[in-house]
Amino acid sequence: MFSDLREFLKALEERGWLKRVSEPLSPELEIPEVLRQVMYARGPAVLFESVRGFPKWRVVGNLFGSLDRIRLALGELEEAGRRLLEPMASPPPLTLADKFRAAVELFELGRYAPRAVRGGPVKEVVEEPNLLSIPAFKTWPKDAGQYITFGVLITRDSRGVYNLGVYRVQILNEREAVVHAQIHKRAADLFASSPGCVDAAIAIGGDPAFLLSGIMPTPYPLDEYLFAGVLRGGGLEVTKGVATDLYIPARAEAVIEGCVDVKDLRREGPFGDHYGVYDQGGLYPVFKAKALLRREDPIYYGTVVGRPPLEDAYMGKAVERVFLPVLRFLLPEVADLNLPEFGLFQGIAIVSIKKRFPGHGKKVMFALWGLGHMMSLTKVVIVVDHDVNVHDLNEVLFAVAQRVDPQRDVVIVPGAHVDVLDTGSPVPGYGSKLGIDATRKLPEEYGGRPWPEEVAPDPEVAARVKAVVEQLLSL
């Protein structure tokens, strides 16, 4: 568990996973270009020690550009998902001993709750906000401007439930920025049900588990500060903001406090996104800054997106692994899940299931499309049997080729909601879904016939000829 970004950077550097650049570079196109090239080469995290035009700041990027680095930040990924389910996953406490165990588990959950402190390094400097003083990236030549690409937007609803979300934020001027929270996301839901200017804070740089909580599709009404605590394995230190009533992470590098004016919608974009095209954006609400809190020597963390595989490919894998236990909790037949990096996460999902009844494959695809936004936005779902390795795309292709009858096994759902960024859909956010049931068919699905027996060698013969084969292959 890391207490802040600096501690994480130290750990990365000790392992040789972080490199420094001392040459002055600009956040406008230059730093993003370096980061992109390093990411495509699957290279290290990079700390830019001299940022042209921003003498107070350093910039770090590609923090999460490998699964090793993400595991260093979060530990065993599926473990975090399991921690979340612990209190619900056991049988009900009937005996006194069980009740005691349940009480201990609840106490454990309390360990993950945020801890309020009075001060914190984020309050070292409190100043009038100037969004242009932050080294936010201009990533692609035709982007509309500078974007905070990995700010964690902190909001709280009327019940007091906190949301943390990473949504790109386009800086308009010293005090205004547009928040691209898409309609299916939790912040957009809050904005839709709020009348005026919703208190909000944008955190820049923080401990890695807090940062990654911002991209996790945590279902409402789970409080995301609590979720961040579960992910890090201990409660996050938070402190009261100075311009809002919100709690903000006490050890962040910087926080901009203000509010999101849901009545003031402005055009956002174009922005080169992870579909590899310039998204033309749309109308989104404006964040109005009230105060800038920061460390004396803040470090800006930003990411770059574009055609895969960039840093978000690994972030997507983290989401997939952390939420797999939750998915299995809701759909116990699910064995494994692959959201392939080139499938753009919302584009293609491959899921393996322990099939028990006719139509089971289709049941699972519709269930996935009916879940929260992590799965429901998925355009193409491929369902395979549990003995297919979903991470081996050739095994998946083989299952599709061997087990699919298009008329019986392919489902097209017209008029469905899709990712707002999806380049293929006829209208942003509205298109169709494709499901492929590539499981072996049961007699009811197969004209009453049993599924043909699959070939397998005689084990004795295979063992007998092993030495001959080994000799042949070593030649």
Ligand X SMILES: Cc1cc2nc3c(=O)[nH]c(=O)nc-3n(C[C@H](O)[C@H](O)[C@H](O)COP(=O)(O)O)c2cc1C
CA angle 316, 322, 326 (to 5 degrees): 120
The minimum distance between CB 386 and ligand X, in angstroms, equals 28
* Longest CA span, the chain: 79
What separation in angstroms does the CA of 343 have from each of 88, 313, 324, 331, 422? Answer: 33, 10, 18, 22, 11
Backbone angles phi, psi at 399, to 5 degrees: -65, -40
Rounded to a whole number of angstroms, the minimum distance from the CB of residue 398 to ligand X is 31
Q: Answer for the pair 263, 299: CB distance below 8 angstroms, yes or no.
A: no
Residue among 424, 446, 444 at smallest CA distance from 433: 424
Quick one: which segment of 104-112, 124-132, 158-166, 401-409 binds ligand X (CB under 6 A)? Answer: 158-166
Of 25, 39, 46, 166, which lies in the binding site for ligand X, with binding defined by CB under 6 A? 166
Angle between helices 67-74 and 5-14 (to 10 degrees): 130
Beta carbon of residue 21, minimum distance to ligand X (angstroms, whole number): 21
Choose between 165 and 208: whose C-beta lies nearer to ligand X: 165
Burial of residue 219 (number of CB atoms within 10 Å: 0-12, 13-18, 19+)? middle
Stretch that binds ligand X, among 12-20, 41-49, 163-171, 399-407 (CB under 6 A): 163-171
Neighbours of 141 (CB within 10 A): 9
**273 in active site:** yes
Distance of closest approach, residue 323 Cβ to ligand X, in angstroms: 10
Burial of residue 445 (number of CB atoms within 10 Å: 0-12, 13-18, 19+): buried
Q: What is the x/- site pattern for ligand X, positions 218-257, by CB under 6 A?
A: x---------------------------------------
Binding-residue total with ligand X (CB under 6 A): 21
Range in contact with ligand X (rule: CB under 6 A) among 65-73, 114-122, 131-139, 216-224: 216-224
**Is residue 165 a contact point for ligand X (CB under 6 A)?**
yes
Single residue of 84, 134, 315, 351 touching ligand X by CB under 6 A = 315
- Asked if 67 and 315 count as a contact pair (C-beta separation under 8 A), the reply is no
Which of 312, 333, 409, 445 lies at the binding interface for ligand X (CB under 6 A)? 312
Query: Facing residues of 336 across strands?
Result: 352
Give every CB contact of residue 75 below 8 A, 6+ residues apart in sequence: 233
| 173-192 residues near ligand X, rule: CB under 6 A | 180-182, 185-187
Q: Exactly one of 157, 199, 223, 273 is catalytic; which is it?
A: 273
Using the rule CB under 6 A, give the single segment among 82-90, 118-126, 165-173, 330-338 that binds ligand X: 165-173
> Which lies closer to ligand X via its Cβ, residue 220 or residue 446?
220
Would you count residue 440 as binding ligand X (CB under 6 A)? no
CA distance 259 to 262: 9
Amino acid at 348: I
Tell me: does residue 299 bind ligand X (CB under 6 A).
no
Residue 317 in contact with ligand X, rule: CB under 6 A: no
Note the residues at the interface with ligand X (CB under 6 A).
150, 163, 165-168, 180-182, 185-187, 214-218, 303, 305, 312, 315
Active site residues: 273
